[in-house]
């Protein structure tokens, strides 16, 4: 089952596209990292997935085909927006009470026990809690709804390293214990490399690449060789990014799961998740338009062939 599926999804404000032609499918059971610079369309995509924004073009479904934002969809989706939104003048207990009244399924005992384990006092106002505690409170409220899909928009941005680690550990525990699928937007690529098994990269309001992390890493290589031969060699590949010095060139290219032998004088190196992400963010786009079109509409497995 796909917990998220989009087809040519787009949102336009006036003449400006915040997101356009976004097509991908996220299978259940993954922690998907949604990565991109500010203004790339990450929040726009998430808002459309939870029904806060109506698409200008295309479609989005969740939880096996339910229209995004529909009552049937929202019953199984929990969303934590940017900056861990909580009512600053309400206590943690008040936040639990309010959330329970707004949702027909809410595990109050779980929420109270989790806050107790974290040392977050129920009587303290949310605005008086630390940034890490506010993030954990917002996550607790989301998890207590027992969602099948958890969508998190930049939850790590204002947290210190310890709070980030604690937050991600809680998310992984929810995945393991309750089978929750997760879409997490973040700029913390190094943190995501430890936990994400699916990657979605947005840039310039468009989808650049999407697929399972292991398959994407296996389907890309950094190729190093003489600068004088770079152009000829690159013409045979789908190059994502080129860095060329006077004597040596570095090509990050889509090579497929089984890469062809490299020419004499060239070397092939594995690519890290951070290198892959940064290459797609810096590149104006894959050099073969047809390849990019195939990549957008491919299944997660096909995307790396």
Please write the tens of the pLDDT for every residue from 130-156: 888 998 999 999 999 999 999 999 888
Give Cβ neighbours of residue 201 (< 8 Å, ≥ 6 apart). Answer: 35, 36, 207, 208, 209, 210, 277, 280, 281
* Alpha-carbon separation of residue 183 from 133, 198, 300 (angstroms): 21, 9, 15
- Residue 42: give its domain's CATH number: 3.40.50.300
| DSSP calls for 73-121 | HHTTEEEE-TT----TTSBHHHHHHHHHHH-S---HHHHHHHHHHTT--
With a cut of 70, list the residues of the chain below it in pLDDT: 83-84, 257-259, 284-305
Q: 195 and 31 in contact (C-beta within 8 Å)?
A: yes
Domain span including residue 59: 2-213
Share of the chain above pLDDT 90, in %: 62
* Alpha-carbon separation of residue 272 from 5, 35, 48, 164, 194 (angstroms): 26, 15, 30, 21, 11
Q: 114 and 173 in contact (C-beta within 8 Å)?
A: no
**11 located within any domain:** yes
**241 located within any domain:** no
pLDDT digits (tens, 9 = 90+) for 53-77: 999 999 999 999 999 999 999 999 9
The rounded Cα 86 to chain-centroid distance in angstroms is: 23
Phi, psi for residue 245 in degrees, rounded to 5: -100, -170
**238 located within any domain:** no
- pTM for the structure as a whole: 0.86
Please count the structural domains in the chain: 1
pLDDT at position 294: 36
**285 located within any domain:** no
């Amino acid at each position: 089952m796909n917990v998220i599926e989009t087809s040519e999804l787009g949102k336009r404000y006036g003449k400006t596209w915040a997101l356009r032609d976004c097509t991908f499918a996220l299978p259940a059971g993954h922690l998907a990292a949604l990565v991109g610079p500010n203004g790339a369309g990450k929040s726009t995509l998430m808002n459309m997935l939870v029904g806060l924004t109506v698409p200008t073009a295309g479609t989005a479904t969740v939880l096996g085909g339910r229209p995004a934002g529909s009552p049937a969809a929202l019953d199984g989706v929990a969303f934590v927006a940017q900056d861990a939104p909580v009512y600053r003048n309400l206590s943690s207990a008040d936040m639990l009470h309010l959330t329970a009244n707004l949702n027909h399924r809410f595990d109050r005992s779980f929420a109270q026990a989790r806050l107790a384990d974290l040392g977050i006092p129920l009587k303290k106002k949310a605005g008086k809690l630390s940034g890490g505690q506010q993030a954990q409170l917002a996550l607790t409220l989301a998890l207590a709804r027992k969602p099948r899909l958890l969508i998190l928009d930049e939850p790590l941005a204002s947290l210190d390293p310890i709070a980030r680690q604690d937050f991600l550990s809680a998310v992984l525990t929810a995945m393991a214990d309750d089978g929750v699928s997760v879409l997490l937007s973040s700029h913390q690529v190094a943190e995501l490399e430890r936990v994400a098994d699916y990657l979605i990269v947005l840039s310039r309001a468009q989808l650049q690449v999407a697929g399972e992390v292991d398959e994407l890493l296996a389907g890309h290589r950094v190729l190093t060789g003489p600068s004088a031969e770079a152009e000829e060699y690159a013409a045979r590949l789908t190059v994502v990014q080129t860095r060329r010095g006077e004597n040596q060139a570095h090509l990050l290219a889509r090579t497929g799961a089984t890469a062809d032998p490299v020419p004499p004088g060239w070397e092939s190196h594995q690519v890290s998740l951070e290198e892959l992400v940064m290459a797609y963010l810096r590149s104006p786009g894959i050099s073969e338009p047809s390849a990019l079109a195939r990549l957008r509409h491919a299944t997660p497995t096909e995307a790396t062939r």
